[in-house]
Structure 1
């Protein structure tokens, strides 16, 4: 079996879980325990907590490359139909994490593997280093990160990150938040009406105006 080895310096492990293990390990163990082997997250096969670093032994799908590389291999933006196949799986993966009270926090093209062992690309999520367990605090899905490091709203944040991924799949330039909000970067006029609508709603500046993940999954474009 081909594996990937991830080295995490101890000084970069900011959050610890029960029994002193890192939150990244705790999350991946929880995901592996509830996995049916068709889920999106990469599997944690083993781990070693050493004095100076944490070593993770991870599943390494072959053939596969990250979504950024997949786009480059394509020679430019993906067509809407291929982007749609990928986005549906990504949204389903995000909903599954939300149901397990896990917030990935770093969904982007570099952290999405596209497994190409079959005719239909399979989405795999990697790098749970910034992830955290979440606890519901209000009707607006407000959650606290580990300890007292900050307050996050996982739903709206995840929806925005999914919008960024879709933008990157369909444009030659990667999404830049400041330029987009300053109207210096625009959604391509070549895209279908429903696709443009999905991008506008997910990338709305106001978190409360973004759809929920389940609403997003029912969007007309999908």
Structure 2
């Protein structure tokens, strides 16, 4: 086991708190691209992290390089459903709450969607916001329409309606050019 805490790093939760509770969309896009690539790499290696959240990513505060940490809740990737939750309840996918079953890939997309929402909005979405998102009617004036559509695609209540992990980096939000990476 290798334990690493490179300097100068902090977890993403601390990072956004140090920057007023939320970060710019462009910086969030860079962070999310790296987070998604880390999740995909885990899947390629047959690992399901099971606890994707801001606190489980370290960010180098000089280079903005992101690393996925804390595999304590992890499991081998199964094609069948999981019936136990070992991660953080706040990031739990709705199908687990409704049926006590969930599949790895859609659950990962849900967690990544919540992570992005928290990065750009400063907190997890309220229940009524999740209803708007599920209806694909959620937007914020301070975010691009592509970012809002990406969040809507990740946070669908029905896992069959969520964007698939294999398509996630091809979403229009990732195709829009980044401007400067800076924090608010």
Q: Indicate the TM-score class for this superposition, using the shorter chain for normalisation.
A: 0.7 to 0.9
* Rg larger in structure: 1
Q: Any unmatched runs of 5+ in structure 1?
A: 1-43, 46-57, 137-141
Please report the TM-score for the alignment, with normalisation by the length of structure 1: 0.64
Query: Aligned partners of 2:156, 2:101: CA distance in 1, in Å?
Result: 20
Query: Aligned partners of 1:167, 1:134: CA distance in 2, in Å?
Result: 26
Please report the TM-score for the alignment, with normalisation by the length of structure 2: 0.76
Which residue of 23, 26, 29 corresponds with 1:78? 23
Residue-by-residue CA offset, 1:159-198 (whole Å, 9 max, x unaligned):
01000110001113x11463433559x6423210100000
Structure with the largest fraction of strand: 1
Q: Any unmatched runs of 5+ in structure 2?
A: 85-99, 175-184
Change (3 A) 1:68 1:187: farther
Question: 1:111: which partner in 2?
Answer: 56
Structure with the largest fraction of helix: 2
Q: How many residues align?
A: 155
Which residue of 203, 207, 221 corresponds with 2:159? 207
Residue-by-residue CA offset, 1:94-134 (whole Å, 9 max, x unaligned):
11011111111110111111123x4x311111111111002
Q: CA RMSD in A?
A: 2.1
Report which structure shows greater RCO (CA 8 Å, sep ≥6): 2
Query: Aligned partners of 2:64, 2:173: CA distance in 1, in Å?
Result: 19
